[in-house]
A and B are shown apart, each in its own frame.
Chain A
Amino acid sequence: MTAGPNTIPAPPLLRMLVLTGVALVVGGAASLAAIALVELVSLLNTGLLVAPKARVQWESLPLLVATTTVLVPTLGGLMVGLAHRHLSPAGRPLGPPDVIEAVQFHKPLPGLRDGVISTATAALSLGAGASVGQYGPMVYLGAIFGGFARRLRLGVPNLASIAIGCGVAAAISTAFNAPIAGVLFAHEVVLRHYATRAFAPVTVASVSGYFVANVIFERPALFRIESPGIAHGYEFVFVAALGLLVAVGAILFMRLLLSIGPTLARWITRPELRTAMAGLAVGLTALALPDVLGIGTSTLRFATIDGAFGLTEVIVLIVAKTVLTALCIAAGFSGGAFSPSLLIGSLIGVFFWIMASSIAGVPSSGAAIYAICGMMGFASAVIGAPLTCILIVFELTRNYDVTIAAMVAVVFSNLLSHRAFGRSLFDVQLARRGIDFSLGRDRARLAALKVVDHLQPEAVTANADDAPEHVANRLREQGWREAFVLDRDGKLLGVFTPGIHCDIGSVRSGAVPARLVFDDTTNLAEAMERLRSFVGDAVPVVSGESGKYLGAVSEADLVSAWLDESARLRKEENASI
């Protein structure tokens, strides 16, 4: 394996140089790519009359605006679906879950071609105004650059994973002008450990992303907030309640998103028609509610202005944006859930603020605080990154009071959503692919190792008709105490232990059912649990489908595989450089 955990390490100084160099190159490249993506989307938004500034210049031709509003997302959806179907072997958009999987299991990312197509379709989806986010594609784009480090043989263990973390951090740092949040996001969501070997280069990459975006290109942050702070102490209680409210919203949103996909696939069999249909839904809704189009930067801004929305308006928008985003992502538009989450969360915050200040008449510090707290509470429940969200607020507002309020909202939101749904949308999506991070990365890593890969070649088998003495002799020669008895089709009948029974004609009558049987899907974590009360040489492994005997694994081999994997994890999580 190249650049994986088994790399033979180079001298420390060289490793330090390699890590810094990789971090700078990956960070810079990921940042430039992220900027290019944002620019491309904004160009498309202008050309396709999605951006308000482009729409307003045709204001005198309402029919033209209405036609493009409906046609652009529909045709965009059709093209996105066709591109996934015909150009990309993966056949679907890629996103943070794929990055997490690659990093956690030291696997290569899905093919470069898939990545490029997914990025292109993301630009098209966002450009055509689909209700999806841009940060997921940016994260994936950053990861692609990190993924190139896999080909380098420079003597740094786990270089590929670290480099992917670097790309991700630089992308987030560029997107939000928030280098600290970039570092945290890469660790909280992608790497899931804080080894210095990873932390240092990820920080370097994040800062270089910030440098490229801020110093070289002098780009403004995608979302800048000026906030006066918290005026009343009791508002901290309010934001805690808001945290719980947005968690409910986030859970409903994620459940909806996960359940629409299969239903939609049943109704509409051709994938490109699914995306076209979702685009049509966005377009038709946008005729009445242009706020649902695209990333919704303007709507996000309005949420911070007191009284920009009426109560009914905000409720309708929350429902529309939630349903359309779930629909667009589930239908196969390429894009993330983070920016729509920011928008939906901020609208729920506004709703809460209207209820508290206008309906209940309690004095408050204004809509902006609630919009920010709602936005981050919702988003942190979706991406499962509370620290990142808190830091994003801090870096965007540079306001201590607001950050503390947002922190309260974020933890209360996470408390509820983690309990009732799961750590994040990504983790639940991965769990549905059979990768379960709910009990930590070590458990997931052990669960990825199959016992069937540790078969002991010397295990002794016997045919049902064999004479017991022969089998006993073979066992003695091999130094085993038990033989696995198979029928003519190779299926496991039981375990034969010589010396227990006397006067039997064949091993069949002496065989007892095996106390423990693994199949080809049994993983190491599960096997270790079940081995607790096991006494014996080895555990037979059978095929789950046919019931045929595949071999046997010895307890000692399983224990050493478990110890090896734990040692690799320990090394990875505690490496200095």
Chain B
Amino acid sequence: MRLSDVLLISSLISAPVAAEELTIVSWGGAYEAAQRQAIISPFTTETGLDIEVAVYDGSWSALAERGSAEGWDVIDMLADQASVACARGLLLEIEPSSLFSQAALQDFTPFGPDRCAVPQNAYARVMAFDDRAFAGVKPTRIGDFFDITRFPGPRAIQRSPDGILEWALLAEGVPPEQIYGLLSTERGLRLAFRKLDTIRDEIVWWDDPAEPAEMLGDGRAVMAVGFNGRFFDVAQRDRAPIDIVWDGRIIGIEVWAIAATTDVPDAARDFIVHATTPASMARFATRIPYGPTRRSAFDRIGFNPDIGLPMRAYLPNAPQHGGRVLVRDSSWYANTEELRQRRFHSWLDAAE
């Protein structure tokens, strides 16, 4: 999702520096900038520790290859990647109950810390539309994405089965808790692709996560699948007439984890505790629309310091959005990679 940022930043950053006190690994770009301001700087001020930030592509294999050599300590990961890394022994086990009080553990949402990882923020795959394309009634539900009679026009979709299969079944009225179970059956996949067939002629594909917002802006699409942060940037910073439909948002969770090879486990734990306080989460969420993973942090979220917008409304997991929410099932994703790609490509080929 943040591949372009990652590539950009990694070209700027030179070879590894191993002798730092604490090495934090993140994604680069605006995301990392927000982390620096909201979490890392206050931690440095508080503890006096020297912090180096490295950038990686988010995969557990990068951790396996570079982690030890570059002295990685704390890593920002996607929840599913962290669970794979944890199973492979690449991460330090953290005993959540030794880091957090019982009340704090219950404050986490939608799930709490596990053996190796502490949830830190939530992003979402959402549907957005070009307001100019629909003068009257606006799309409000995922079903509208598949309704080309009421809402005609091209749809921008990632050239990948991710997310769109879930939406196809949501549009058929399947409740979120059954989506992944149904997609695990032959019949479920068949129904999802049948739904996709109904908009086949209206699909414009994208590969780079920056594209959907651009496509909405320049009229190549009237509706798009994309990530909430990207849509936010274009809509709020560039003042583009793009609105997000929160129904059916698919929430992914970012976690903090500690490399098994760390030489400063105590400092790493201190950092994670600091980074996942409601105050740190709230400071981060005011800078970039990635929601906190603790309920109590929502009450502290105020205005974005740059553009002066109240940020609570733009967070993917803000309680006031309502509608249907799907939490990305990371183990299902990990297990069905091959099947989904195969079925998706045979569906693509069937068109040609």
B178 touches A56 (CB 8 A): no
Report B180-211 residues with CB < 8 Å from chain A CB. Answer: 180-182, 184-188, 191, 194
CA distance in complex: A52, B187 (Å): 11
CB of B335 closer than 8 Å to a CB of A: yes
Closest to B190 in A: A308
A220 touches B173 (CB 8 A): no
Question: What are 9 inter-chain pairs, A to B, with CB distance below 8 A?
Answer: A52-B182, A53-B180, A53-B184, A56-B336, A56-B339, A60-B338, A298-B178, A298-B188, A305-B173
Measured CB to CB, the closest approach of chain A to B181, in angstroms, equals: 5
Chain B 148-178 near chain A by CB (<8 Å), digits 1 or 0: 0000000000000000000000001111011
CB of A368 closer than 8 Å to a CB of B: yes
Closest to A59 in B: B339
CB of B332 closer than 8 Å to a CB of A: yes
Closest to B175 in A: A224
Q: How many residues of A contact B (CB 8 A)?
A: 23
Partner of B185, one of A57, A290, A368: A290
A308 touches B184 (CB 8 A): no
Partner of A368, one of B173, B181, B338: B173
What A residues does B336 contact at CB under 8 A?
56-57, 59
Known contacts A56-B332, A307-B194, A308-B191, then 11 further A-B pairs from the complex at CB < 8 Å, ordered by chain A residue: A52-B182, A52-B185, A52-B188, A53-B181, A56-B339, A224-B177, A290-B185, A298-B178, A302-B187, A302-B191, A305-B174
**Which of A301, A302, A308 is packed against the most chain B CB atoms within 10 Å?**
A301
CA distance in complex: A368, B194 (Å): 18
What A residues does B182 contact at CB under 8 A?
52, 298, 301-302
CB of A226 closer than 8 Å to a CB of B: yes
CB of A118 closer than 8 Å to a CB of B: no
Closest to A290 in B: B185
B174 touches A301 (CB 8 A): yes
Measured CB to CB, the closest approach of chain A to B341, in angstroms, equals: 12
CA distance in complex: A301, B178 (Å): 8
Measured CB to CB, the closest approach of chain A to B8, in angstroms, equals: 36
Measured CB to CB, the closest approach of chain B to A76, in angstroms, equals: 21
Measured CB to CB, the closest approach of chain A to B134, in angstroms, equals: 22
Q: How many residues of B contact A (CB 8 A)?
A: 21
A305 touches B185 (CB 8 A): no
Chain A residues within CB distance 8 Å of chain B? 51-53, 55-57, 59-60, 220, 224, 226, 290-291, 297-298, 301-302, 304-308, 368
CA distance in complex: A70, B186 (Å): 19
Number of A-B contacts (CB under 8 A): 60
What A residues does B180 contact at CB under 8 A?
53
B335 touches A297 (CB 8 A): no
Measured CB to CB, the closest approach of chain B to A38, in angstroms, equals: 13
A297 touches B181 (CB 8 A): yes
What B residues does A51 contact at CB under 8 A?
181, 184
What A residues does B332 contact at CB under 8 A?
53, 56
What A residues does B181 contact at CB under 8 A?
51-53, 297-298
What A residues does B172 contact at CB under 8 A?
305-306
CA distance in complex: A455, B174 (Å): 65
What A residues does B175 contact at CB under 8 A?
220, 224, 226
By Cβ-Cβ distance, the 7 closest A-B pairs, closest first, are A57-B335, A52-B184, A56-B184, A53-B184, A52-B185, A224-B175, A220-B177
CA distance in complex: A301, B188 (Å): 10
CA distance in complex: A52, B183 (Å): 8
What B residues does A59 contact at CB under 8 A?
336, 338-339
What A residues does B184 contact at CB under 8 A?
51-53, 55-56
Report B32-67 residues with CB < 8 Å from chain A CB. Answer: none
CA distance in complex: A306, B180 (Å): 19
Measured CB to CB, the closest approach of chain A to B352, in angstroms, equals: 25
What A residues does B187 contact at CB under 8 A?
291, 298, 302, 308
CA distance in complex: A305, B192 (Å): 11
Measured CB to CB, the closest approach of chain B to A305, in angstroms, equals: 5
A56 touches B173 (CB 8 A): no
Measured CB to CB, the closest approach of chain A to B132, in angstroms, equals: 30
Partner of A298, one of B173, B185, B194, B335: B185
CA distance in complex: A290, B184 (Å): 12
Closest to A56 in B: B184
Given contacts A59-B339, A60-B338, contact A304 B185 (CB under 8 A): no
A226 touches B173 (CB 8 A): yes
CA distance in complex: A159, B181 (Å): 43
CA distance in complex: A99, B247 (Å): 45
CA distance in complex: A220, B173 (Å): 16
CA distance in complex: A306, B173 (Å): 10
CA distance in complex: A226, B207 (Å): 34
Measured CB to CB, the closest approach of chain A to B165, in angstroms, equals: 13
Closest to A54 in B: B184
CA distance in complex: A226, B177 (Å): 13
What B residues does A306 contact at CB under 8 A?
172
CA distance in complex: A220, B178 (Å): 10
CA distance in complex: A290, B189 (Å): 14
What A residues does B177 contact at CB under 8 A?
220, 224
Measured CB to CB, the closest approach of chain A to B171, in angstroms, equals: 10
CA distance in complex: A304, B188 (Å): 12
What A residues does B191 contact at CB under 8 A?
302, 305, 307-308
Closest to B176 in A: A220
What B residues does A368 contact at CB under 8 A?
173
Closest to A57 in B: B335
Closest to B339 in A: A59
What B residues does A308 contact at CB under 8 A?
187, 191
CA distance in complex: A55, B332 (Å): 11
Measured CB to CB, the closest approach of chain B to A368, in angstroms, equals: 7
What B residues does A53 contact at CB under 8 A?
180-181, 184, 332
Measured CB to CB, the closest approach of chain A to B284, in angstroms, equals: 27
CA distance in complex: A368, B173 (Å): 10
CA distance in complex: A305, B172 (Å): 6
CA distance in complex: A53, B329 (Å): 11
Measured CB to CB, the closest approach of chain B to A338, in angstroms, equals: 20
Measured CB to CB, the closest approach of chain A to B205, in angstroms, equals: 26
CA distance in complex: A466, B339 (Å): 96
What B residues does A55 contact at CB under 8 A?
184
Closest to B186 in A: A290
Measured CB to CB, the closest approach of chain A to B107, in angstroms, equals: 15
Given contacts A53-B181, A297-B178, contact A304 B173 (CB under 8 A): yes
Closest to B169 in A: A305
Measured CB to CB, the closest approach of chain A to B133, in angstroms, equals: 26
Closest to B336 in A: A56
CA distance in complex: A290, B172 (Å): 21
What B residues does A297 contact at CB under 8 A?
178, 181
**Which of A51, A56, A59, A368 is packed against the most chain B CB atoms within 10 Å?**
A56
CA distance in complex: A307, B188 (Å): 12
